[in-house]
Amino acid sequence: MREQIAEEVLAGEDAWIVGGAVRDELLGRRVDDLDIACAEPERAARAYGARSGGAVFPLSAVFGGWRVALDESRTVDFSPLQGGAIESDLAARDFTVNALAVPLGGGELVDPFGGRADLDGRVLRPVSDRVFDDDPLRLLRAVRLEDELGFRLDPGAERLVREKAALAGQPAGERILDELARLSAAGFERLSELGLLEPLGGHADPRLRAFDSPWFRLAVTFGANLKRFPISNQLRRFVDTLLRAVQPADGSPREIHRLRRAAEPWALEALAFVGSEELSGTVEEARQRDPAGPLVRGDEIGVAPGPEVGRLLEQIAEERAAGTITTREEALELVRRSLE
């Protein structure tokens, strides 16, 4: 359906399906993002959006690309046909496995740089020695493609990545984050091996595999330096929570309560960050035992509204978690003793 609408919008025009969409189709992978090169990307995107009901927005003022966002995280991207011909367009792309095209509507594969053979060999080779100078984000993309596709840079490409590693921090922060967020732990280790982490303010960390989540990998790799990037407020809170986390003295209910109070909803990530992931099961059990409601409310303890109320309620919650009190009466008695 996506291609059919594109054919209708671009009927009679020189238009090509290019890049990752062709690559993934040849690899038998699901194609979520359809990439089309044409003469007038904005006009094509707006016409496509009008027919499909998708959201239309520019991808890059520099490169002139436009995107139509559809349902189920699928997209159709329209980019300018570089040089006015498909061969010139493909010559400006990053790796041979992405320098592939087929005519919109069907036809023979255009493969001027041997990308199909590199797909078969599971090899990443740059189209030219200038690919990283033209767009340094491709340094990170090289590692991400290795990671996602199970490919490997050929020896010449790896040497070129190491030579150009200092350029890795030049792209816009949001573009860098998009690539990093898609990497596995092995991908981050590969970045370090190639010298690409230091220019970004990161370092290889032995905790990378302690918890399987993109945010955790970013936090352990960059720490407070991650906040130099344009991260969301929630990711900022996540990083701050992990950086403040204190290793529990033991797995007692009191210690687990204190950890959870400081770190939830990221208590498991905090445990991995401080090197106590063996207590993860204890935290999961504590979550399952969480009571439906408090023993007493703040307006029931006979203290004027203010910080003291919060302190007393937390004291009640901690003692309840530790098992020293279980009833409303015991909670009120604890308050009375605390105020003496």
User: What is the secondary structure of 141-196 as a DSSP string?
Assistant: HHHHHHHHHT-EE-HHHHHHHHHTGGGGG-S-HHHHHHHHTT--HHHHHHHHHTT-
Single-letter amino acid code for the residue at 241: T
The three state secondary structure string of 70-105 is CCCCCEEEEEECHHHCHHHHHHCCCEHHHCCEEECC
Q: Give the integer Cα–Cα distance in Å for 290 and 270.
A: 19
Contact 231, 178 (CB under 8 A): no
Task: Record the pTM.
Answer: 0.87
pLDDT band at 325 (very low <50, low <70, confident <90, very high): confident
Q: Give the integer Cα–Cα distance in Å for 91 and 98.
A: 10
pLDDT band at 1 (very low <50, low <70, confident <90, very high): low
Q: What is the pLDDT of residue 338?
A: 84
- Region of poorest pLDDT, from 51-55, 59-63, 251-255: 59-63
Burial 167-176 (b: 16+ CB within 10 A, else e): bbbebeeebb
Token representation of residue 89: 């367009």
Contact 223, 208 (CB under 8 A): no
Q: Give the integer Cα–Cα distance in Å for 215 and 221.
A: 10
Q: Is the pLDDT of residue 331 over 90?
A: no
Q: What is the pLDDT of residue 303?
A: 83
pLDDT band at 316 (very low <50, low <70, confident <90, very high): confident
Sorted by where each begins, the domain ranges of the chain are: 1-121, 298-339
Give 264's DSSP letter. Answer: T
Contact 124, 118 (CB under 8 A): yes
Greater pLDDT, 64 or 210: 210
Provide the CATH number for the domain formed by 1-121 in this structure. Answer: 3.30.460.10
The crossing angle, in degrees rounded to 10, of helices 173-180 and 137-149 is: 10
Q: What is the rounded average pLDDT of the residues 186-190?
A: 97
Q: Give the integer Cα–Cα distance in Å for 246 and 12.
A: 65
Q: What is the pLDDT of residue 83?
A: 83
Q: What is the pLDDT of residue 106?
A: 87
Q: Is the pLDDT of residue 61 over 70?
A: no
- Give per-residue pLDDT as tens, 260-280: 999 999 999 999 999 999 999
Nearest to 257 by CA among 316, 307, 299, 306: 316
